[in-house]
Amino acid sequence: MNNKRFFFPIRAWLAAELLVLLLLACSSAWAIDTRNEGPNGPVEPAVSVGDTLVNEATRDGAPGAASGLATSLSPRLNPLEVVQDAVKSALNSALDSVQSNSLVEAGMASWYGSAFQGRRTASGERFDMNQLTAAHKTLPLGTVVQVRNPLNGKTVDVTINDRGPFIKGRIIDLSYRAALALGIVQAGKQPVEVHRR
């Protein structure tokens, strides 16, 4: 289960890699190789980017692509501005998708109640089974996370105030009240998702 915590940074890295590949593809598509070619005729002083791309596409034998390109680009558009706009758009969409994915981990949750009532927690406060608290092995004490039961869609915000659970295969130990809010008291343990708040 600990490997799932590394899923978020890997996705952000993959998004950055895809963005770099997109930039390389865009820059190579707009690069005009003129090492072995001379000018085909007199160059007009006001040649637009759209006309240049249309002429390149027509010369390469792709008239359908050329007509679509002409309508999608404005006459006075700078290729650098097009690339910058594409980069901004890709970065914004990648950032939105990374920020919307707040999943910390998923796994089995259990709960604890009256047997631990009044005992000291790892944070130093006394355990109260009627508070919305939880025990987690690695999240910082005082962190507020949202726990979601994927079977019924119920969610609850809990504060991490203790360490545990110390049973293999479980990721979080909820207080009685939090387990009651998620509908897992009867089952004793249930798969949940832990989300960042």
Residue 52: the pLDDT is: 47
Residue 16: the pLDDT is: 67
Task: Give the homologous superfamily in CATH for domain 103-196.
Answer: RlpA-like domain (2.40.40.10)
CB neighbour burial string for 45-59, b if at least 16 within 10 angstroms, e if fewer: eeeebbeebbebbee
Which residues, in sequence order, are bridge partners of residue 160? 134
DSSP 166: -
Mean pLDDT of 155-178: 95
Q: pLDDT tens, 58-77? A: 454 544 444 444 444 445 56
Higher pLDDT, 180 or 30: 180
Q: Per the structure block, which two tokens stand in for 147?
A: 């726990």
Report the C-alpha gap between 180 and 169 in whole angstroms: 21
Q: Which of 156, 164, 52, 179 is nearest to 188 (CA)?
A: 179
CB neighbour burial string for 94-123, b if at least 16 within 10 angstroms, e if fewer: beeeeeeeeebbbebbbbbbeebeeeebee
Q: Which of 50, 105, 35, 42 is nearest to 82 (CA)?
A: 50
SS3 10: helix
| Best mean pLDDT range from 18-22, 32-36, 38-42, 106-110 | 106-110
Query: CA angle, corner 190, sides to 141 and 192, nearest 5?
Result: 55
Q: Which of 111, 118, 103 is nearest to 7 (CA)?
A: 103
Statement: residue 119 has pLDDT above 90 = yes
SS3 181: helix
**Res. 102 pLDDT band, cuts 50 70 90:** confident
- pTM for this predicted structure: 0.50
**Res. 143 pLDDT band, cuts 50 70 90:** very high
Report the C-alpha gap between 55 and 184 in whole angstroms: 66
Q: Is the dihedral of CA 42, 48, 51, 53 positive or negative?
A: positive
Q: Where are the domains of the chain?
A: 2-34+44-100, 103-196
Q: pLDDT tens, 124-136? A: 999 999 999 999 9
Statement: residue 34 has pLDDT above 70 = no
Q: Give the range among 80-94, 153-167, 176-190 with minimum mean pLDDT.
A: 80-94
